[in-house]
Chain A
Amino acid sequence: MSKSKIQISKQKFLVLSFALCALSFTLDCFARDVNFEITVGRHKVSLGEPLELNLTFSDTQNMPALQLPPLEGFQLRYLGPSTRMSIVNGKVSSSITHVYTLLPTKEGIFKIGPFKLEYNNDNYSSNSIDIEVVKGPVQGAPSESQQGSEAQDLSDRIFLRVQAQKNKIYLNENVPVTAKLYVNRLGVRDIEYPQLIHEGMSLAGFDQPKQYRDVINGVGYDVIEFNTNMFGVRPGEFRLGPATLKCNLIVRKEPQGGTSSSFDDFFGSDFFNNFFGRYETYPLNLKSPDIPITVLALPEENRPQDFSGAIGDFDMEVSLAPEEVKVADPVTLKVIIKGEGNFNTVNPPEIKSDRNFKVYEPQAKQEKGRKIFEQILLPMNAAVKELPALYFSFFDPKTAQYRTLTKGPFALKVLKPEKEEELKIIESTRPGMPAFEEKLGRDIVYIKDSLGGLRKKGEFVYKNKMFLWLQMFPLLVFLLLFGFHARSEKLRTDIRYARQLKAPGKAKQGLNKAKGYLGAGKTREFYDTVFQTLQEYLGDKFHFASQSITISIVDDNLKGKSYPPQVLDQLRSVFSDCDMARFAASEFSRADREKTLKNLQEVIDYFQRNKVL
């Protein structure tokens, strides 16, 4: 795609975007009331020193420039329009300002305005302002070289103020508190809720802020107002604030390197870079001065007995329904305390249970400007004719006096129940107990006389090492028993294993017996024992029937396996010695017998040390 085609596409996109924005602003304008005001940079100027006059229409950006009449004492020149848009807490506000230059031509005090405009069948009227023109220089007036400078004193154009409705308040008295952010012709965004130091006082959260215009000393400000309430929690002298508020200031920067008309920039290929590069945000942390607050204790003088801390200006409404009931049927008493004040301190008039009424705890519901209490009462006998008068005492901070509101007594007709019903409602009483509802006192049970067993702090048994180690013991016992049981089972079911296990023990017994015969010189018995021992050992070790084992086992079963030939020879030698000794025992000397025994021992040792194949 060629460069020119890209430029044309960009231009079309920009025009479309601009048209959509303009349309939305126009629609926005119709949805609201437009405010028209005039402001000047300063009210006192020197003769011949130009002065800026701004005609500002709020909540619209579609207002033509006025054709102003000639102004006495000034020459007038129109510079052009300036539009502005801000977004605070999601609410969009916009304005258009037509800027004129006034050049004072003579000394004196002149009145500018009010101006009137008729546009689209609507009439708009502005305020008026006074300007003083003097001969000499005006102190503090910015010089020409300073006017275009960026080093401006922001504290005159954006500042925060806190005020309370009253500076002397009573304890728990609810007082409105306002924090106001003033902004003069600056772009501001990301405005946070103010934070307020409130030692000695309790502060509720801030409500949704309000936005409006205000003029202070002829200077117009956009005002954002935050409202809340506070009340003092203890008597004394305190300082409310300072309040701090964070926001971002949007500052327009001039493009670098030469001047160019705004139309060239708008339709040029560098539009995007220039547009987004012209604005920068600076974080601001505004701080308001603090204000003194005195919290006064409520006076002791003339304090009513039933006063329970309510403070404000209240009225009371009481209703009782129904007005005709049977004994022990419920009656609803509704008490509405309404007015202005701290509803956290408002409690309902006290009604105590007695022989005439059983009283339940009231339920409270808080609404804006009033608090509703509903309480159930049960008339306990037909002699009840009325509910006695109710009293509500409170302290009125405006008059600094205690007041007591009285309502009632309230007529109540209590009917006797039907005879069947009488049986139902009479409560069963134990002998000696009073028939009416007994009111029991309530307090804490007495202390413990005995200290009991003490222990070190934090020493719970689950942390005790001895206790934890003790838990291992049953597991160890179980594992031991399990191992023992498994071995017993194996010995019982695996005969081969059992025989192999018993083989060395039996062989040892046989060898010891043979040694005994050797020492005693009993040749026949010796060789019989050797033969039997060898038979049983080989039978157990190789899982053969012991009685069937002869010398042939060497060649039939053992030769093929990788046993050393020396061991097999020793085995053959023992077998042949035993066979020969059966017939010619006397031919064997002691040395021969010892050799036989030694061979047998070595064969057994070999098979014990090495795995049976």
Chain B
Amino acid sequence: MFQVQQAGGARRRVSPDTRKSIERAPSPAVVPDCLIAGSDPALRKRLAESLRRQPGTGRIHEAEDRGAVERTLTKLTPAVLLLDLPMRGFDGLESLEVIRTLSPATEIIVLVDSPDDQAAVRALRAGAKGYCSRTTDSALLTRAVQLVRQGEIWVGRRVMLHLIEELAALHHEREGKADDWLRLLTKRERQISDLITLGASNKEIASRLGITEKTVKAHLTSIFQKLGISSRLQLAIYGLDGGSRGPINAEETKVQETAASRAG
């Protein structure tokens, strides 16, 4: 959780992105009109009490089954819906489509018994703005309601980790596709290529990889041949640029190098 300590009276320093999201938001203490939907009366009561404890809370409605949800959404447009799944009449994520058709302006936070990473992504894909455990601390859920109202997404820590891993895997895959030149190289040649991009000398590469300088030079010859280049600078540019415009950049560099050497 991003926190910035605030000395008494002093302005709170925030990053440009945080400031943008604060400017976008209504007063932070305001909890908007909410609908709490779930078949468990104890859960509804706990959440309703917690939300009402905030100063400046809007109206808090409850619905115990699908019929009640549909009736409420026909009459009102709560800003946020806390949806405990499953509940009577709503089994799973397909309920999101029904709800969003009835009330497209209402943001949905899905509450479940056992959070599941894949289900979380499906929920977000289906238009939910939050997904977490129904036993999440009431204060945190109140915060979730406020943030979702401001346009943020709310997920638990494990789901956050899962989202990061999914995105990193996707990036890795795309990187692999763009970096066709990497596929031309052996694993050792790729390691050497990395080190060149970081500015290593042959001596440093040899030491780092536990091989002789002669071997490093042999690998470099092979790399240059495979990529059709003739300098470590060009290789470094392949490494930095992701290789997507590799040949063009390499050519440009060659021209610049030649011009530079002519200029002395």
Are A and B genuine complex partners? no
Hey, which bits of chain B sit against chain A, CB under 8 A?
A: none
Hey, which bits of chain A sit against chain B, CB under 8 A?
A: none
